[in-house]
Amino acid sequence: MTKNLKIKYRIFTRPEIGKDLELAWKNLVGSRARRGNVLAFSGTTPVGLFQYNIEKADNKIFLIADGTVVLEAKQKNGIGKEMWTIALKKERPNIVQVCATSLGGTKLITSVKKKFPKITWDTW
């Protein structure tokens, strides 16, 4: 794990995002915050983001992943897996829907699936 790494978790909607945080993430990944976000910082520098939506239907909780981003210099240190772990423990979904678009993303999802075998995974 990267030294001085801090993971922050908060569910928020776009109007609640502080301007500094919104600007930092816009500069980092060019995307807007959604329903759930897990943010990773090294000191005060943002180094990772996991965004997702939560939907509830038929007494089930669905976590729909929007994306996982870790700065290239900080990749392969477990940051992505730790952000996913925090979100899954907090949200406690029955079903996760995720599309991996890279080899690194596929490896990340494979490792997270092993850690949470009771969750139904809809991956493609």
Q: Which residues on neighbouring strands pair with residue 61, listed in sequence order?
A: 56
Only one residue has tokens 């925090």, namely: 86
Alpha-carbon separation of residue 7 from 16, 42, 55, 118 (angstroms): 19, 9, 24, 24
Q: Are 80 and 100 in contact (CB under 8 A)?
A: no
Structure-block tokens of residue 14: 């776009």
Tell the burial category of 98 from Cβ atoms under 10 Å away from its Cβ (0-12, 13-18, 19+): buried
Name the band, by pLDDT with cuts 50, 70 and 90, for residue 114: very high
pTM (global) more than 0.85:
no
Determine which of 22-26, 46-50, 96-100 has the lowest per-residue pLDDT on average. Answer: 22-26
Residue 119 has pLDDT above 70, yes or no: yes
27-80 pLDDT tens trace: 554 443 347 888 888 877 888 899 898 888 889 999 999 999 999 998 998 999
Residue spans per domain, the chain = 5-123
Buried b (16+ CB within 10 A) or exposed e, 31-62: eebbbbbbbbebeeebbbbbbbeeeeeeeeeb
Q: Which CATH architecture has domain 5-123?
A: 3-Layer(aba) Sandwich (3.40)
The CA angle 63-65-71, to the nearest 5 degrees, is 140
